[in-house]
């Protein structure tokens, strides 16, 4: 299993502004943002590809650990990426060193396969072909299909927000999305809030962007942002390109 030590990388990220913005993020949110950047830098896994993974963030005595596990049928073929962000970050892949050549004839799928999955599903909006192939490989391996549930969004006792999200909270959500995912003002204006929940601790918003109802366009998908009521700090955010459906 390959392990990377990336102190120099984080210095570059901070100097070039690719790491977190200032003032509106909790430590937990920063860990997730940095982990996404490190995953892309070390394995070429870009944001659109994360639609096929489940992300889980855990705080340990040594700091935060962020894992990305292939969702359901893809658990066996995509494996799990583990990122330990912070001052001396590390990135590893559970299937590192395995042969990924041969595109979907391979029994292990990496960046090349994920690129092709994004390319095709952005046109067809269906992962049926890939799902079927992944299931065949999983069966050959005698492995199980695992639905890895994310504990990142823990809205215990949350209630659906009937009214609109408070303007100041929505403004923070959109600021975070703009800073971390590079959306334009026009794209932000096209966003709609599809669902929102709240509990005593935070407000969770699901922001949807569809620039063309007929075709998938870059940056389209769901942006999930949780904002603490105390201080309006972003505690969690995640982008799903919504390319993992079955048409």
Question: Does residue 175 have a pLDDT over 70?
Answer: yes
**In total, how many domains does the chain have?**
2
pLDDT digits (tens, 9 = 90+) for 145-166: 776 655 577 677 889 998 899 9
Average pLDDT, the chain: 88
The verdict on 132 and 164 lying in the same domain is no
How confident is the model over 19-77, as pLDDT tens digits? 444 589 999 999 999 999 999 999 999 999 999 999 999 999 999 999 999 999 999 99
- Which of residues 90, 111, 140 is at a domain's end? 140
In a domain, 168, yes or no: yes
Same domain, 19 and 71: yes
State which H helix or E strand residue 14 sits in: helix 7-16
**Cβ neighbours around 151 below 10 Å, total:** 11
* Residue bearing the bigger pLDDT, 125 or 234: 234
Q: Maximum distance among all alpha carbons in the chain?
A: 52
Q: Are 77 and 137 in contact (CB under 8 A)?
A: yes
Question: Within this chain, do residues 23 and 113 fall inside the same structural domain, yes or no?
Answer: yes
DSSP designation for 144: P
Other beta carbons within 10 angstroms of residue 24's beta carbon come to: 17
Residue 186 domain-assigned (yes or no): yes
Range of the domain at 207: 159-240
Structure-block tokens of residue 20: 């977190």
Q: What Cα–Cα distance (Å) separates residue 148 from each residue in 69, 93, 117, 151, 162?
A: 7, 16, 20, 9, 30
Task: Check whether residue 69 and residue 169 sit in a common domain.
Answer: no
Distance CA 18, CA 68 (A): 20
- Global pTM value: 0.86
Q: Do 12 and 128 sit in the same domain of this protein?
A: yes
């Amino acid at each position: 299993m390959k392990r990377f030590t990336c102190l120099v990388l984080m210095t570059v990220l901070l100097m070039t502004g690719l790491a977190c913005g200032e003032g509106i993020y909790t430590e937990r949110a920063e860990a997730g943002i940095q982990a996404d950047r490190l995953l892309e830098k070390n394995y070429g896994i870009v944001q659109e590809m994360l639609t096929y993974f489940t992300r889980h963030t855990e705080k340990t005595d040594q700091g935060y650990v962020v894992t990305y596990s292939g969702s359901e049928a893809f658990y066996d073929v995509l494996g799990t990426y583990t990122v330990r962000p912070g001052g001396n970050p590390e990135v590893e892949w559970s299937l590192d060193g395995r042969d990924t050549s041969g595109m979907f004839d391979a029994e292990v799928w990496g960046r090349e396969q994920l690129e092709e999955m994004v390319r095709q599903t952005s046109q067809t909006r269906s992962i049926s072909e890939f799902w079927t192939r992944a299931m065949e490989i999983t069966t050959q391996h005698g492995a199980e299909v695992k639905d890895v549930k994310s504990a990142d969004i823990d809205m215990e006792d949350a209630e659906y927000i009937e009214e609109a999200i408070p303007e100041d909270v929505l403004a923070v959500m959109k600021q975070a999305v703009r800073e971390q995912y590079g959306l334009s003002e026009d794209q932000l204006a096209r966003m709609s809030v599809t669902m929102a929940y709240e509990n005593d601790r935070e407000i969770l918003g699901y922001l949807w962007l569809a620039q063309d109802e007929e075709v998938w366009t870059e940056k389209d998908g769901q942006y999930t942002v949780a904002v603490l009521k105390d201080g309006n700090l972003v505690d969690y955010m995640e982008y799903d390109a919504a390319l993992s459906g079955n048409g």
